[in-house]
A and B are shown apart, each in its own frame.
Chain A
């Protein structure tokens, strides 16, 4: 990614240039979508959330310092948006959750299949966490935020963030141990 280009596009978009904003969407849509997919666990919902996040970002440009990189800001917006969604509707896990992402499983070497299975288990384990724990994992492990930055993003005290994160890890590790090594992914219907 060209940082200078990213920055000039950001400045133009902040002034209302929608073509520039369209280019920013193309540059960052995959990253933003993947945040949503990890939190929501469903392609369609994740695409909707990503789209909504971009629209919100555009409308909130006044509050953004255009000297800063835009991707972390976009990820922050989509994270909060997704968290609000899963808090609003009780997390009903869709069938898609426990399974590997569609289209991907091409016949391949066994190691590759095992890795895919493991990834699906990790995704399912993340999705089985309560929203606040899911948020902590997402922000620390996938967005590389410090404890302080997570606290700021979630507007929670540092101590709460730390205990959430550590409990989330413990829970995840236990759930992954349960499903390890080649057991089928947990049946998501159990939790509904």
Chain B
């Protein structure tokens, strides 16, 4: 009868043999002293490994691990941050004030400053002149005009914003800005070590 080979012995102990192979192995082991001895050696090794105790950890690793974690993961969800909320409100208020003012100016100013650049043919002609310069000393700059419209008087705003209301809005905006920045500074993740 064939002895059990190394694979069979190992797989038998690991309980990886199918039923038929296991029964065959057991039958052989029952009658073969040599294979039983080899199996016993392996079993002794298995129990030596199983009995190896864990050794105690001398230091708590928690602090060291936490100190090495990436910082940005500590910042909570954006919309839950007071700074984000405050500064969003601030932006909305400033836009509410700013857009009407800008629109009014845009509509009331009839002509924007205009700059008239010379035509390409004009530039070409002057370039030809420039080539002839060494023969004739005639050179003229192309026409270049810059028109500034007369400034209109300060327009009326389309919405009635009393100076007192403006002042209140600005105070609110400033307060929001302050609170927002303050909370942003406070929510900075602490340094752990």
CB atoms of A122 and B49 under 8 A apart: yes
Q: A182 an interface residue at 8 Å Cβ cutoff?
A: no
How near does chain A come to B109, taking the closest CB pair, in angstroms? 52
Q: Which residue from A38, A51, A146, A166 sits with its C-beta under 8 Å from B65?
A: A51
Q: A157 an interface residue at 8 Å Cβ cutoff?
A: no
Q: B113 an interface residue at 8 Å Cβ cutoff?
A: no
CB atoms of A50 and B69 under 8 A apart: no
CB atoms of A173 and B41 under 8 A apart: yes
Q: Complex Cα distance A173/B40, Å? A: 11
Q: B50 an interface residue at 8 Å Cβ cutoff?
A: yes
CB atoms of B58 and A43 under 8 A apart: yes
* Chain B count of residues within 8 A CB distance of the other chain: 33
CB atoms of B52 and A55 under 8 A apart: no
Q: B87 an interface residue at 8 Å Cβ cutoff?
A: no
CB atoms of A18 and B73 under 8 A apart: yes
CB atoms of B73 and A30 under 8 A apart: no
Q: A37 an interface residue at 8 Å Cβ cutoff?
A: yes
CB atoms of A21 and B57 under 8 A apart: no
- Per the 8 Å Cβ criterion, residues 115-139 of A in contact with B are 115, 118-119, 122-123, 137
How near does chain A come to B114, taking the closest CB pair, in angstroms? 57
Q: Complex Cα distance A50/B59, Å? A: 11
Q: A156 an interface residue at 8 Å Cβ cutoff?
A: no
Residues of A within 8 A of B53 (CB): 119
Residues of B within 8 A of A162 (CB): 7, 10
- Per the 8 Å Cβ criterion, residues 1-60 of A in contact with B are 16, 18, 21-22, 25-26, 29-31, 33-34, 37-38, 43, 47, 50-51, 54-55, 58-59
Contact with B along A55-95 (1 / 0, CB 8 A): 10011000000000000000000000000000000000000
Q: Complex Cα distance A51/B53, Å? A: 21
Given the known interface contacts A54-B65, A170-B6, the answer about A16 and B74 at a Cβ–Cβ threshold of 8 Å is yes
Q: A172 an interface residue at 8 Å Cβ cutoff?
A: yes
Residues of A within 8 A of B66 (CB): 18, 21-22, 25
Q: B145 an interface residue at 8 Å Cβ cutoff?
A: no
Q: A176 an interface residue at 8 Å Cβ cutoff?
A: yes
Q: Complex Cα distance A59/B70, Å? A: 8
- Per the 8 Å Cβ criterion, residues 52-91 of B in contact with A are 52-62, 64-66, 68-70, 73-74
Given the known interface contacts A51-B65, A59-B70, the answer about A137 and B52 at a Cβ–Cβ threshold of 8 Å is no
Residues of B within 8 A of A47 (CB): 57-59, 61
Q: B46 an interface residue at 8 Å Cβ cutoff?
A: yes
CB atoms of A169 and B45 under 8 A apart: yes
Q: A99 an interface residue at 8 Å Cβ cutoff?
A: no
Q: Complex Cα distance A51/B58, Å? A: 13
Cross-chain pairs A/B with CB under 8 angstroms, 6 sampled: A18-B73, A22-B65, A37-B55, A104-B55, A115-B51, A119-B51
Chain A residues with a Cβ under 8 A of chain B: 16, 18, 21-22, 25-26, 29-31, 33-34, 37-38, 43, 47, 50-51, 54-55, 58-59, 101, 104, 115, 118-119, 122-123, 137, 140-142, 146-147, 162, 165-166, 169-170, 172-173, 176-177
